[in-house]
Structure 1
Amino acid sequence: MEILAQIRGIVDQVNNLLWGKNILVVLLIGAAILATLGTRFMQFRLLGPILSVFTNEEKKENGISSLETFFLGTACRVGAGNIAGVVAAITVGGPGSLFWMWLVALFGASTSFIESTLAVIYREKDRDGKYIGGTPWIIRKKLKMGWLGSIYAVASILCYVGVTQVMSNSVTESVSSAYNIKQSWIAIILTVIVGLIIFGKGKRDRIIDALNKIVPVMAGLYLGVVLYIILTNISSIPAMIGSIFSQAFGTKEIAGGAMGVIIMQGVRRGLFSNEAGSGNSNYAAAVVDIDQPAKQGMVQALGVFVDTLLVCSATAFVVLLAGAKKVAGVEGMMLNGKELSGMALFQEAIKTHIGFVGLPFTVIVIFFFSLSTILAVAYYGKNAINYISEKTSLNIAYQIAIIYMVYIGGIKQNIFVWSLADFGLGIMTVINIICLSPLAKEALAELRKYEIFLKEESRELKEQRKRVREQVKD
C-alpha cells in the first residue's frame, strides 16, 4: 500500500507540473508555431492537396491505405472528450474559447504533418512483412537512444490503458443515466463487443476493418444532425459567430481579467483534443502502405482539422445555438432556466433542438465515439508493445488487459487510472517534441519533394487535357 501511495504521489506531482503549470501548452504552442513557419504555412498553401490526399487511391489488399490510417487516427482523436471536453471549455471560458481552439488546430496541423512524415521515413517492417513504426522507432533509428524509445512506448501503454477506462465509463454512465440500466450489464456487453473485434478472425486486421465501418458512420451521424441543427437555426448563426469572436477579443473580458481564462480553455482543449505534438498519430502514420512520406503527413494534418474544426465545433454549436449563456461567476451555463454543465448541458441542448430523440441520440454518439477510441488505442498499444518485444504472448497480454479495463472502467470510474492517462500522454508529448523538433528538416525536405511532384503532376494533367482538346478539334 505504501508503494502504491508513492506511485500515486509521483504521478500527481508530474501531472501538476506538466498540466497544471501549462508546461505542455507552452511546448505544444511553440512546436506548432515553429512547424508552421518551417513549412511556410503548408496547411494554408496546400489546403487543396491536403483535402484531396485520398483521390484515386486504390484499396490495399494486404497493406493499409491512407484512408484507413485516417480513420485510425480520427478514431483515436475523436472520443467522448470531443463532447464533454468542449462543453467544459465553453462552460468555463465562454464562446470565445472556441476561437482559440480553431487557432490551435490551424497551427497544430503543421506539427502533425512533421511528426507523421518522420514516422513514415523511419518505419520498418515486422516479421510478417507489414510496416510498423512511430516515435520510438524514430528515436532509436535516428537518435540511437533505444532506451528513451522504450520509455515513450511504456508511457503510451499507460496512457492507452487509462483512456480505455475513461471511454468505457463514458459509455456505461451515459446509458445507465438515460435508461436506468445497471452499469455492470452495459460493461459486460461492451467488453464482449471489444473482445470479439480484437480477437476475431479475418484476412486483414479486424480493428482496422471495424474502424473503416465505425468512423464514417459516427462522423456522418453526428455531423448530419448538427448540420440539421445549423440549418434550422440559420438566423441565429451570425449572432453566434459574433459572440465567439467578440468574446475571444472582447474588451469586457480583458477589463474583467477573464481573457486569460478564455484563451487557456480554448488552447488546452484544442491541443488535448487533436493530439498534434504528442506523437500518438505516428503509430497510425507509420503503418500506411505508401511511398511518399509527405503525403501521409498531409493525411494526419487533415485529421487535426476534422477533429477540431469539424467535430469540436459541432459540439460547441449545438450548445450555443440552444441559447446556453455563460453567467459571470458561475461554473456552468444557463439553458432553459437551469444551470447546467458537462454532459447534462449537452443533452439538454440536444433535446432543445430535436426533442425527445435527443437522449437516445446522445447515447449512440457517445457509444460510437468511445468504442472507436478504445479500438484505436488497442491498435496503437499493440505497436508500442512490439517495440519493446515482438513476443506474441506479450501482445496478447496487452489486448487482454485492454478488454479487462473496458469491463473495470465500465463498472466504476477510477480516478488514479484516469491520472495515469494524463501522466502517460504528458511524458509522450515531452519526449516527442524534444526529440523530433531537431529532425524537422528531414520532413521539410520531403515536403519540398512532394511539392515538386504535385507541380509535375499538375503540368502533366494540363498537357493531357491540351492533347484531348486538340484531338477533339481534329
Structure 2
Amino acid sequence: MDLFQIIDKINGFLWGPFMLAFLLGAGILYTFRLRFIQITMVKQAFYHTFGGLFNKKEKEEGGGITSFQALATSIAAQVGTGNLAGVATAIAAGGPGAIFWMWISSFLGMATIFAEAVLAQKYKEEKDGQVVGGPAYYIQKGVGSKALAVFFAVSIIIALGFVGNMVQSNSIAAAFDTFNVPRVVIGIIVAILIGFIIFGGIQRIAKIASTVVPFMALFYIGGSLIIVFANFTDVLAAFELIFYAAFNPEAATGGVIGATIKEAIRYGVSRGLFSNEAGMGSTPHAHAVAKVKHPAQQGLVAIMAVIIDTVIICTLTALVIIITKSYESGMTGIQLTQESFTRGLGDFGYPFIAICLFFFAFTTILGWYYFGETNVKYLFGQKGINAYRALVLVFIVVGTTINVPLVWELADTFNALMVFPNILALFILSPVVVRIYKDFKTKG
C-alpha cells in the first residue's frame, strides 16, 4: 500500500458519517437555538452586509476593516474551485438530487457560520496594533483549552496556508495549459502577485478582495445566467429533477448515473459544507477583524456569504450542468463543468471557465493565506510572519508542478483535524452565542 492509499483510507474515516453528523449537528443545534435565524433575519443580513457599502465614514475608520471587506475576504476563500469542480463531482457521484442535499447543508450551515462569526467578534483581541481573532482565540479564551487552540492553529496553517494553497496554484497553472506556458513560470508570476498583496497586510488583502470578488462573482453569475435564460423553458424541469432525484436518484436519471439516495445525501452534504466552509473554522478569521457595533451584525454578514457561495453560485453551476445534460457525459470534476459551459456558450465556454478558475483560485489563496497568518500570529507573534509569507510563496510555486491527488488528500486530512476542535468549541460555547443574539434582538 503506497502513501496515497494510506492517506486515502485515513480520510475515508475522518470524513465519514461521523464528521458529517458532527457538522450537521452543529447546524441543527444553532438553527433551533437561534429560532431559524436563516429565515427570520435574512432581510437584516442583507442590510448589514450591503447597507454600509457606500458609507464613507465607515471606510475611513482605522484599525480593522469594514464589514463588507470582511465579507469579501471571507467569500474570497469560500468561492473557489469547489464551486466549479465540487458541484460537478457531487452531481457525477450522487446524481442531480445531490444538489437538494447541498441546499439543506447550506441552510444549516448558515446558523453555524453565524455562531463562528459572533464568537470571533466576541473573543478577538489586539496584537502588535492589529486586531486578530478566530477559533484559536475563542477556543483558548472561551473553552479554556490552550492545547486545543494550538492544535487547531497548527492544523489550519498546514491545511490552508501551505498544502491547500499548493492545490490552488496548481489549478491556476492548469487553467493556462492551453496557452502552452510552462507551469513553473505561472507559479512564479502568481507568487509575485500574491507577495505584493500579502506584504501589505490585511488592509491590502481586504481592499483587493472587495474589488476583485464582486467582479469575479458577477462575471461567473452573468455567464451562467446567459445559459439559464437561453434555456429558460428547461429551468423548471431542472428543479423538478433535483427534487425528485433527491429521493429517487436512479429512477430520475434512468440509471445513467446509478446513484443511490445514500450517495446523493453524502456527496450533496459534504460538497455543500466544503464549499461554504461553515463549521470548518476558516472564515471566522476574516469576520473577527470587521469593525461593527455588535458581534451579531457580523454574524448576519456571514450568513450572506453562504447565500452567495452556495445558494447562488453553486446552484447556478448545477443548473448549467443539468440543463445542458452534461451530467450524462460520464465526466466529473472540472472537466464536467467545462463541458457544460462549452455546450452552453460554445467555443467561449472553455476560456470562460479558465478565467473563472484563475480568479476563484487566486482569491482563495489570498483568503487562505490570511487565515494561516492569523494563526501564525497566535503561535509566534509578529516575528513569525515574514518566514510564513516566504514559505507560502515557495509552496505556491512548487504547487504548480506537483502530483495533485496526493496533495488534495493531505489537505483533506488537515482540514478534518482543524474541524474537530472548532466544532467542539461551537457546541460548548452555544450559550454564549445565544446570549449575544438575544442581546442584539433586545437592542433592536
After TM superposition, the score normalised by the length of structure 2 is: 0.92
Once the two structures are TM-superposed, the CA of residue 415 in structure 1 deviates from its matched residue by 4.0
- 1:403 aligned to which of 383, 393, 402: 393
User: Structure 2 counterpart of 1:246, which letter?
Assistant: Y
Specify the alignment match of 2:314 in structure 1.
312
Secondary structure in 2 matching 1:53: helix
CA distance in 2, matches of 1:39, 1:430: 22
Aligned to 1:471: none
- Residues 126 and 132 in structure 1, CA contact (< 8 A), matched pair in contact too: yes
1:438 is matched with: 428
Q: 1:190, 1:252 → 2: CA distance? A: 43
Q: Note the 1:179-194 alignment, pairs <5 A.
A: 179-194=179-194
**Alpha-carbon distance in structure 2 between the residues aligned to 1:26 and 1:110:** 15
Contact kept? 1:31, 1:111, Cα under 8 Å: yes
Find the counterpart in structure 1 of residue 13 from structure 2. Answer: 17
Q: Following the alignment from structure 2 to structure 1, what is the Cα–Cα distance between the partners of residues 127 and 83?
A: 34
- What is residue 282 of structure 1 aligned with on the other side? 284
Partner letter of residue 403 of structure 1?
A: L
What corresponds to 2:23 in structure 1? 28
Match of 2:147 in 1: 147
TM-score for both structures, normalised by structure 1: 0.87
User: Which residue identity lines up with residue 198 of structure 2 in the other structure?
Assistant: I
Q: CA deviation at 1:11?
A: 5.4
Distance 1:235 1:108, change over 3 A: same
Identify the residue that residue 218 of structure 1 maps to in structure 2.
Answer: 216
Tell me the amino acid that sits aligned with residue 423 of structure 1. T
User: 8 Å contact 1:99–1:244 — kept in the other structure?
Assistant: yes
Structure 2 regions of 5+ residues with no counterpart?
none
Q: Is the 8 A contact 2:95 2:249 kept in 1?
A: no
> What is the deviation of 1:252?
5.2
* 1:43-192 correspondence to structure 2 within 5 Å: 43-54=38-49, 55-56=51-52, 57=55, 58-62=58-62, 63-128=64-129, 130-160=130-160, 161-176=162-177, 178-192=178-192
The answer to whether structure 1 residue 372 and structure 2 residue 368 are counterparts is: no
Assess if the C-alpha contact under 8 Å between 1:165 and 1:418 holds in 2: no
Q: 1:433 to 1:356 in 2, by over 3 A?
A: same
Tell me, in whole angstroms, the C-alpha distance in 2 between the residues paired with 1:340 and 1:324: 8
Question: Which residue in the other structure is 2:336 paired with?
Answer: 345
Distance in 2 (alpha carbons) for counterparts of 1:209 and 1:302: 19
AA at the equivalent of 1:210: I
2:350 counterpart of 1:359 = yes
Structure 2 CA distance for aligned equivalents of residues 370 and 438 of structure 1 = 34
Higher mean C-alpha deviation, range 409-418 or range 82-91: 409-418
CA contact (8 A) 2:94 2:264 kept: yes
* Unpaired stretches in structure 1, ≥5 consecutive residues: 326-332, 455-474
Please identify the structure whose Cα radius of gyration is greater.
1
Whole-angstrom CA distance in 1 between matches of 2:382 and 2:128: 11
User: Match of 1:328?
Assistant: none
Using the TM superposition, name which of 82-91 and 248-257 deviates more. 248-257
Tell me, yes or no, if structure 1 residue 39 matches structure 2 residue 22: no
**Partner Cα distance (1:431, 1:416) in 2:** 25
CA distance in 1, matches of 2:44, 2:60: 21
Task: Verify the 8 A CA contact 1:131 1:289 in the aligned structure 2.
Answer: no
Structure 1 residues 242 and 195: CA distance shift in structure 2, 3 A:
same
Compute the displacement of 1:65 (Å): 0.8
Aligned partner of 2:219: which letter? L
Partner SS for 1:278: coil
Q: Pick from 398, 412, 425 the counterpart of residue 415 of structure 2.
A: 425
The answer on 1:238 being equivalent to 2:233 is no
Cα-to-partner distance string for 1:319-376 (whole Å, 9 max, x where unaligned): 1111224xxxxxxx32xxxx42222221121121112111211111000000000011
Tell me if structure 2 keeps the 8 A contact 1:150–1:388: yes
SS of 1:52's equivalent in the other structure is helix
Given candidates 368, 379, 383, the residue that maps to 1:388 is 379
Aligned-CA RMSD value: 2.1
Question: What's the CA shift string for 1:108-142, capped at 9, x where partnerless?
Answer: 100111121011111111121x3211111112112
Aligned partner (choices 434, 438, 443) of residue 448 of structure 1:
438
Cα deviation for residue 197 of structure 1 reads 1.8
